[in-house]
Amino acid sequence: MIQQLELVLLPEEAADEAKVLKKAAQQLSVSAERIRGINLLRRSIDARSRKVLIRMLSEIFIDEDPPVQNKEEYEFNFSRNVSQAESVHIIGFGPAGMFAALRLIELGKKPIIIERGKDVRSRRRDLAAINKLGIVNPESNYCFGEGGAGTYSDGKLYTRSGKRGNIRRILSVFVKHGADPDILIDAHPHIGTNKLPGVVQSIRETILNAGGEIHFETRLDDIISQNGKIINILVSKIASGEQIEIPCHKIILATGHSARDIYELLNRKNIRIERKAFALGVRIEHPQEIIDKVQYHCESRSPYLPPASYSLAANFKGRGVYSFCMCPGGIIAPAATSAGEIVVNGWSPSKRNNPFANSGMVVSVTEEDYIPYENFGPLAGLQFQKQVEQKAFTAGGGMLVAPAQRLIDFMQRKLSSSLPECSYIPGVKSVLMDEVLPHAISNTLREGLGHFGKKMKEYYTNEALLVATESRTSSPVRIPRDPETLAHPDVMGLYPCAEGAGYAGGIVSAAMDGERCAEAAAGL
Q: Which domains does the chain have, with CATH numbers?
A: 2-62 (3.30.70.2700), 87-273+479-521 (3.50.50.60), 275-470 (no CATH)
DSSP 339: T
Cα 406 versus chain centre, distance? 26
Nearest to 137 by CA among 220, 234, 256, 217: 217
Per-residue CA distances from 20 to 1, 3, 60, 419 (Å): 19, 15, 11, 46
- pLDDT at residue 165 in the model: 85
- pLDDT at residue 70 in the model: 57
500-519 b/e (C-beta count within 10 Å ≥ 16 → b): bbbbbbbbbbbbbbbbbbbb
Distance from C-alpha of 422 to C-alpha of 515, rounded to nearest angstrom: 39
Sequential pLDDT tens for the chain (524 residues): 899 999 999 999 999 999 999 999 999 999 999 999 999 999 999 999 889 999 999 999 999 998 876 566 788 999 999 999 999 999 999 999 999 999 999 999 999 999 999 999 999 999 999 999 999 999 999 999 999 987 876 668 888 776 678 999 999 999 999 999 999 999 999 998 889 999 999 999 999 999 999 999 999 999 999 999 999 999 999 999 999 999 999 999 999 999 999 999 999 999 999 999 999 999 999 999 999 999 999 989 999 999 999 999 999 999 999 999 999 999 999 999 999 999 999 999 888 999 999 999 999 999 999 999 999 999 999 999 999 999 999 999 999 999 999 999 999 999 999 999 999 999 999 999 999 999 999 999 999 999 999 999 999 999 999 999 999 999 999 999 999 999 999 999 999 999 999 999 899 999 999 999 999 999 97
Could you tell me the strand order of the sheet in which 53-62 lies? 2-9, 53-62, 35-46
